[in-house]
Amino acid sequence: MLDSGEIQRIRLKTRRLIAEQRAQVQDLLRLREHLGGSLIVRWAVCGKEGCACRKGQRHGPYYILSTRSGGKGGYTYLPEPQVARAQDLVERHRRFQAGLKRLQRLNEDLVLALRRYREATGRKALRALGDNQTRKAVV
């Protein structure tokens, strides 16, 4: 069994991890409106011989949203007024995915800290960690 100072450090770490976990969940909830995919800007050259695009003045820009669903890729052409919103939603999706990875790491660290606490104290319950909300979030 560990000394009381080490047990206290584990308790503090666990409380800190729970607070970080709650904050991360709140961040993810703020990002819940998101759109997975990529936004592509395309310029085109047509097949007409006398067109200005043959001399470097291409047609476009065309804004294309590329997405995947059910293992299949899809493309959607977006009108210019929707491009800024689509860019924002795609960026939110990237931040959401990064936040999920961070939450997963926090959860893994929290499980390890709780196991270490349980082993250090020889307890089956986690009552000494904090208030009722903490126990609900942990147990």
What does the pLDDT read at residue 138?
47
Distances (CA, A) of 74 to 20, 25, 69, 80, 86: 37, 30, 8, 19, 15
Instruction: Calculate mean pLDDT across residues 78-93.
Output: 96
**70 — pLDDT class (breaks 50, 70, 90):** confident
**Band of pLDDT at residue 139, cut at 50, 70 and 90:** very low
* Candidate from 87-91, 95-99, 112-116 with smallest mean pLDDT: 112-116
Q: Which residue did the predictor score with more confidence, 90 or 7?
A: 90
pLDDT band at residue 135 using 50, 70 and 90 as cut-offs? very low
Average pLDDT for residues 56-72, to the nearest whole number?
A: 90
Whether pLDDT at 131 is above 80: no
Taking every pair of Cα atoms in the chain, the longest distance, rounded to a whole number of angstroms, is 86
pTM: 0.72
Give the model's pLDDT for residue 2: 64
Q: How far apart are CA 36 and CA 94, in angstroms?
A: 8
So what's the pLDDT on residue 6? Answer: 84
Range 55-82 average pLDDT: 91
